[in-house]
Amino acid sequence: MSAFVDASFLFALYRQQPGNERALEWMATASEPPVVSALLVFEFEQAVRFEVFRRGRDHTKGFSEIAGLNLLAQFETHLTQRVFAVADFEAARVVREASRISEKHTIRRGVRAFDILHVATALVLGARELLTFDIGQRTLAEVEGLTVPL
């Protein structure tokens, strides 16, 4: 396995935002599908739905329900077409690895739980790269030995 993705990469892939061109270029030149976990799929789908909620409260934030539903449908199609490889993982092993990472980094770096879980999953699955546009996620991945090529 080569690359594991996080939610910031998926948002950049599906939305016009900073990183969009780099995400599309990476996908176009990839030799194998990047890997996602069920946890990441949940996080991404939840984040899309939350952005729709935000738009409902403040029209200057988030995105419309139609845009959100279209994005989710496109992502689901890509999962079905195996544009991404959905990896199974042993949850207990990932949580043990996440606990190790948390103990080592959270007090000094202020790392978020999902960032730790994604890095732990990538390590447990044997990924060499993490695809992210999140600065905190990048730093954590790099200190844990993953390459962040974007």
The CATH architecture of the domain made up of 3-88+127-143 is 3-Layer(aba) Sandwich (3.40)
* pTM for the predicted model, two decimal places: 0.87
Q: How many CB atoms lie within 10 A of CB 46?
A: 11
Q: Of how many residues is the chain composed?
A: 150
pLDDT given for residue 130 in this prediction:
94
Tens digit of each residue's pLDDT (9 = 90 or more) over 29-53: 888 999 999 999 999 999 999 999 9
pLDDT given for residue 1 in this prediction:
57
pLDDT confidence tier of residue 128, bands split at 50, 70 and 90: very high
Nearest of 94, 112, 109, 96 to residue 143 by alpha carbon? 109
Query: With 90 as the cut, is the pLDDT of residue 109 above it?
Result: no
Would you kindly state where each structural domain of the chain is located, as residue ranges?
A: 3-88+127-143
What's the mean per-residue pLDDT of the chain?
91
Nearest of 131, 133, 136 to residue 116 by alpha carbon? 136
Which range has the worst mean pLDDT, 27-31, 99-103, 143-147? 27-31
Tens digit of each residue's pLDDT (9 = 90 or more) over 5-35: 999 999 999 988 888 899 888 888 888 999 9
Q: What is the mean pLDDT of residues 102-125?
A: 92
Of residues 99 and 18, which shows the higher confidence score? Answer: 99
Phi, psi of 37 (to 5 degrees): -110, 165
